[in-house]
Amino acid sequence: MDAPGDDRRWLLLTYRVPSKSSRARVAVWRDLRRLGALYLQQAVCVLPDVDDVRESLSAIRAKIAELDGTSFFAVLTDLEPSERQQLVDGFIAGSEKDYAEIVEECETKFFKEIEFERFRQNYTFEETEEIGQDLEKLRRWLAKVIARDWMSAPGRALAEAKVAECAVLLEDFENDVYQRSGQGEETE
């Protein structure tokens, strides 16, 4: 959390992309969301001044220019404590939401997929491969959220535990597939 005397620096980006192409606007918005930007209003966002963010913002600004847009970049250093706290709270809320979505994905899709395949008796190596790919997507997603969780939002431990639970469920399913395929039988 921000301390009252926190001298954290914040990066402010405002931009305009020509309205003729909603695809261009959405592409810029996605890049900034992927980076972890906190939108204060449409086309105005803030990021903490941390490693790699400035470089990524430069690339996004270049993209905006390629799209015949304009951007303005500034470093915010002298904010009121309440303004700093508002930014911190906004980043925490965003990360909490991301962690909650990962937990939901585990519980409503991943867990249910394995349960459904067991119900169908679909014990195939192809199915374990497909579910394994889903687990890797969850792991990559979690890693991206952790990388942009600059304020240490609550929810990380639960999301990590749910992804770990997914791995255990997949391992158990794989063991069942192995056993049912005859591969698990010992030879004399």
Work out the average pLDDT over 4-29. 84
Q: How confident is the model over 123-182, as pLDDT tens digits? A: 999 999 999 999 999 999 999 999 999 999 999 999 999 999 999 999 999 999 999 987
CB 123 within 8 A of CB 181: yes
Q: How confident is the model over 52-85, as pLDDT tens digits? A: 899 999 999 999 999 999 999 999 988 999 999 9
Q: What percent of the chain has pLDDT over 70?
A: 94
User: Residue 39 and residue 41: Cα distance in Å, rounded?
Assistant: 5
CB 168 within 8 A of CB 110: no
CATH class of 10-78: alpha beta
Asked if pLDDT for residue 188 goes beyond 60, the answer is no
Q: Where are the domains of the chain?
A: 10-78, 93-180
Instruction: Read off the pTM.
Output: 0.87
Can you name the residues that pair with 39 across neighbouring β-strands? 45
